[in-house]
Amino acid sequence: MKFGGTSVEDAAAIRNLTDIVKKEIPRKPVVVVSACAGITNQLLNAAQLASQGKKEEALQVVIAIEGRHKKIARDLFDGDTERFINKHITSQAEELSALVNGVVVLGELTPRSLDAFAAYGERFSSFIIHHYFESQKIKSFWVDARSFMKTDEQYTKAAVNFDATEQLLKEIVQLKIDNGYVVMTQGFIGSTHSGITSTIGRGGSDYSAAIIGALLNAEDIQIWTDVDGILSADPTVVKNAKKIKVMSFSEASELAYFGARVLHPETILPAVKKNIPVRVLNSKNPNATGTLIVSTPKTDKRCIVKSIAYKEGITLVSIVSTRMFLATGFLENVFDVFHKYQTVVHTVATSEVSVTATIDNVKNLSHIVHELQEFATVTITDKKAMVCIVGDNLRNSPGLAVKMLGPIADININMISQGASEINLSFVIDEEQVDDVVLRLHKELFSNADQFPEIFSN
């Protein structure tokens, strides 16, 4: 059971979470929590301020973080328990202030230090919730995820070592589950083999929960968030988006990969390996059924599209060969350059002598362009967005592109690609047109959603 930031944001949310967990105690849950909403951003902000030498401002942020958690403790506890929790929060805040001072003195902020800051949020929230569980007579065991979630040293987006993590989970966590404890731990954070704190990427608590669930062979992986499930589009853009009752692992992963924030892009992978169903549920509406994600859901072949996702901040890199490489040689050379600068290419459209690639990480773009220019002409276009239509039945739907893109025939499309999985159709447009395009597509493509009551609900 993973609870996101808004599901742990204050005392009311924590009480609510506790009721949800209580009902699942017979199923022996492991509870994975995020930092309280906004805290991770504040921690990273404190780190940035410190690196700019703005010590007082950074310390003010630490005080705000301390105050926020103490307020939650005041609302949930009293007497000795409140004093004990407050003492803990104070000592954690002192450590954070010491980190601020360290960064101010050094005047530099490494990814490793950023992770040291970021990893406090989940520890604060899980500590408070664990003690609240105890106060509610839940037999709870708090475990620091850094003791089992083993990662490499790519700080801020570390890769998890599944073998080491599985071994440690069995030793540390399984034992407690077997002894009747509800295990309470943190998403997002881990540690390297030498024990240095790491994190697995923003929004990574979903992924942590899926890893823990898969490695412990859970019956299901529950992602508790602040919407009724996975919706047919981002509800902040499409107010009347439909809830998807059931969808496939592949549909969910394409959606996550193409920008639907509701799930971290890697969440589905561990579940797929063990074929464990994933449920996306609303902690503010716990009786709603949510979205069930399974490997092969029963589907109605007439329902082509499940959801529309989008990703802003996309840059298009168009590369035209200036020399006559063999086709293989050209592509190899192009991708070598992206690989060398660790820049992920999302989609590509190619011909024998030209490639258009989309990227969202432009940190090394100038180096990339420089190297590509040794054998190609390169054009960069930024402020683009990728819109992606997802559905298992997009596969083998003839005449699809015309049908899908008809409603936006007047929009200039820079690039279209149908992924190898054939269950997504994605295209690149100007960033400023995203809302309009998503709204228009949604209106058109979901006008018949009521015909599929087993797939969508309002």
Contacting residues toward ligand ASP, per CB under 6 A: 4-5, 34-35, 40, 121, 187-188, 202-205
* Closer residue to Mg ion in complex, CB, 73/129: 129
Terminal C-alpha separation, the chain = 25
* Closer residue to ligand ASP in complex, CB, 37/231: 37
Look at residues 348, 308, 256 and name the one whose alpha carbon lies nearest to residue 437.
308
Look at strands 221-225 and 2-3 and give their pairing: parallel
What is the b/e burial string over 290-300, where b = at least 16 CB atoms within 10 angstroms of the residue's CB? Answer: bbbbbeebebe
* Closer residue to Mg ion in complex, CB, 238/260: 260
Name which of residues 76 to 115 contact ligand ADP (CB under 6 A): none
Look at strands 243-244 and 278-282 and give their pairing: unpaired
> Nearest-CB residue to ligand ASP?
205
CA distances to 246, 275, 292, 410, 443 from 296, rounded to whole Å, are 10, 10, 11, 37, 27
Q: Is 235 in the site for ligand ADP (CB under 6 A)?
A: yes
Q: Is 33 strand, coil or helix?
A: strand
Name the minimum Å distance from CB 236 to ligand ADP. Answer: 5
Name which of residues 1 to 20 contact Mg ion (CB under 5 A): 4
Structural tokens at position 440: 């228009």
Can you tell me the distance from the alpha carbon of 83 to that of 420, in angstroms, rounded to the nearest whole number? Answer: 57
Look at strands 2-3 and 30-33 and give their pairing: parallel
Can you tell me the distance from the alpha carbon of 341 to that of 338, in angstroms, rounded to the nearest whole number? Answer: 5
Name the minimum Å distance from CB 36 to ligand ASP. Answer: 9
Name the CA radius of gyration of the chain, rounded: 24
Alpha helices (H) in 107-161, listed in sequence order: 111-118, 120-135
CA distances to 182, 187, 328 from 286, rounded to whole Å, are 19, 21, 53
* Closer residue to ligand ASP in complex, CB, 256/404: 256
Name the minimum Å distance from CB 208 to ligand ASP. Answer: 8
Count of residues in contact with ligand ADP, rule CB under 6 A? 19
Q: Is 203 in the site for Mg ion (CB under 5 A)?
A: yes
Name the minimum Å distance from CB 6 to ligand ADP. Answer: 5
* Closer residue to Mg ion in complex, CB, 29/203: 203
* Closer residue to ligand ADP in complex, CB, 350/457: 457
**Site stretch for ligand ADP (CB under 6 A), options 12-20, 131-139, 194-202, 233-241:** 233-241
* Closer residue to ligand ASP in complex, CB, 89/319: 89
* Closer residue to ligand ASP in complex, CB, 199/333: 199
* Closer residue to ligand ADP in complex, CB, 16/51: 16
Can you tell me the distance from the alpha carbon of 428 to that of 310, in angstroms, rounded to the nearest whole number? Answer: 10
202 binds, among Mg ion, ligand ASP, ligand ADP, none (CB under 5 to 8 A by kind): ligand ASP
* Closer residue to ligand ASP in complex, CB, 122/371: 122
Q: Please provide the DSSP assignment of 289-337 as one string.
A: --EEEESS----TT----EEEEEEEEEEEEEEESS---HHHHHHHHHHH
Q: Please provide the DSSP assignment of 348-364 as one string.
A: EEE-SSEEEEEES--TT
Q: Is 227 strand, coil or helix?
A: coil
HSE-CB of 200 using CA atoms within 13 angstroms: 30
314 binds, among ligand ASP, ligand ADP, Mg ion, none (CB under 5 to 8 A by kind): none
Q: Is 407 in the site for ligand ADP (CB under 6 A)?
A: no
Name which of residues 10 to 39 contact ligand ADP (CB under 6 A): 34
230 binds, among ligand ADP, Mg ion, ligand ASP, none (CB under 5 to 8 A by kind): ligand ADP
Name which of residues 250 to 279 contact ligand ADP (CB under 6 A): 260-262
Q: Is 204 in the site for ligand ADP (CB under 6 A)?
A: no
Residue type, 428: V
**Site stretch for ligand ADP (CB under 6 A), options 58-66, 110-118, 225-233, 327-335:** 225-233
Can you tell me the distance from the alpha carbon of 321 to that of 121, in angstroms, rounded to the nearest whole number? Answer: 48
Q: Is 18 strand, coil or helix?
A: helix
Name the minimum Å distance from CB 192 to ligand ADP. Answer: 25
> Nearest-CB residue to ligand ADP?
4
Name the minimum Å distance from CB 8 to ligand ASP. Answer: 9
Residues that bind ligand ADP (CB under 6 A): 4-7, 34, 203, 225-227, 230-231, 233-236, 260-262, 307
Residues that bind Mg ion (CB under 5 A): 4, 203
